[in-house]
Amino acid sequence: MIIIRLLALAVWIGAVFALAMDLWKMTDTGIFEPTALGSLWYMLDMESLTLAQNFVERYVSEILWNPGIVSLLKMPAWAVLGGLAVVLTVISAMGRGRKIGDRP
């Protein structure tokens, strides 16, 4: 479960980073325009995004990529990463046999 906890922490950090980036942009423009998950992925590593798209469309299903994954990639990065972080945190807490609010 330590791996899931570390992964949850990394995803939490990514969600906070994405939200901070959007808030920073808002100080310049005065308008809150959240960065889409796909745009963030493209900025970080466009080659892996293209590779993932090709793999899913060729070996899994074109329908899974579009509209399935594309819909997810259009959502705000901080929201998707935050939701994934919550899920991973809950899973790691369940592995320890505790409820979320319990203290160690």
Could you list the mean pLDDT of each consecutive 10-residue stretch along the chain, which spans 104 residues? 90 96 92 94 94 94 91 96 94 71 60
User: CB of 7 within 8 A of CB of 88?
Assistant: yes
CB neighbours of 69 closer than 8 A, spacing ≥ 6? 56
Preceding peptide of 34 cis, ω within 30°? no
pLDDT score of 103: 60
pLDDT score of 2: 85
pLDDT score of 44: 93
Entry pTM = 0.82
Cα 93 from Cα 25, distance rounded (Å): 35
